[in-house]
Amino acid sequence: MENENVGRSIPRIGEKAPSFRAVTTQGEINFPDQYAGSWVILFSHPADFTPVCTSEFMTFASMEKDFEKYNCKLVGLSVDGLYSHIAWLRTIKDKIEYKGMKDVEVKFPLIEDITMEVANKYGMMQPGESNTKAVRAVFVIDPKGVIRTVLYYPLSLGRNFQEILRIVIALQTADAFSIATPADWQPGDDVIVPTAGSCGVAKERMDTKDGSLKCYDWFFCTKKLDKDTIFKQLEKK
C-alpha cells in the first residue's frame, strides 16, 4: 500500500535537521554538517522570477551582515534549477531597484531542488497550497544541527525578516542567560525568569523586595536584561 505521508513529514522543533547534499549557486553543500558550529537559516521560496520572492531575496540579502553578527548563515531553496537561479540572481543584481535597495548581490547559497528531494524532507511541499511550488518555509537551526524554530507561510505572504532576526537573537539570548522572552520582546525589554518549580521558590520570588524581580504573580516574574549585556555576550560566540 502506498504511504500517503511520504514526502509529507514536517521536521519538528528539537529534532536534528534532516541531512542532504545539494547543488547550489555557491557550489555543493553538505547540510547541516558543513554548518556545524554556526546557526543557519534554511528557507524555501516558491519560484524564481516572481515578485514576492524577489522582494524577499533583496531584503534577506541586504540583511546578511546583520545575521553574520549572530554567527548565523543563510541558505535558500526552491524547486527551480540551477541556471534559473543564476539568471534570477543576476537579474536582481543588475536590474531591480526596490525600496532603496539596488545592486543587491545574493551571496548565500540557493539550492536547486528540481527533484523536490530536499523540499519533501522539510515539509516544504504542501499540496493544499501548491503541487509544484514550495511554500515559504523557515527553519532556524542551531550550531548542533538541532531545529529550534519552524515557520511556514503561504505563497502570497512575504515574510518579515526583522522577525526572523528577532527569533535568532531571542533564541541565543534564552540559551545564554537561561531566560524566556515574552510577547513582542525586543533586546533591552524585560525577560522572563523560569517559573518557580517548588513552593519554596514561589514564596522566595514573591518575597523578593530588592527590585531585582518584578512578579505579576508567583509563576510570572521578569527581570531586567540590558541590550549591551546581551550583545556583548552574543557577539563573543
Q: Does 133 bind ligand BEZ (CB under 6 A)?
A: yes
Residue 133 grid coordinates: 511550488
Residues in the chain: 237
53, 199, 215, 221: the catalytic one is 53
Binding mask 5-34 for ligand BEZ (x = CB under 6 A): ------------------------------
- On whether the CB atoms of residues 169 and 175 are closer than 8 A, the answer is no
Give the one residue of 40, 53, 77, 92 binding ligand BEZ; rule: CB under 6 A: 53
- Stretch near ligand BEZ under the rule CB under 6 A, chosen from 5-13, 43-51, 113-121, 178-186: 43-51
Q: What is the DSSP string of 5-51?
A: TTT-----TTSBPPPEEEEEBTEEEEETGGGTTSEEEEEE-S-SS-H
Q: How far is the CB of 88 from ligand BEZ (least distance, A)?
A: 11
Catalytic residue list contains 53: yes
Q: Please give the DSSP secondary-structure letter assigned to residue 88.
A: H
Residue 77, interface with ligand BEZ (CB under 6 A)?
A: no
Alpha-carbon span 97 to 95, nearest angstrom: 7
Q: Which residues are catalytic?
A: 53
Q: Which residues bind ligand BEZ (CB under 6 A)?
A: 46-47, 50-53, 133, 155-156
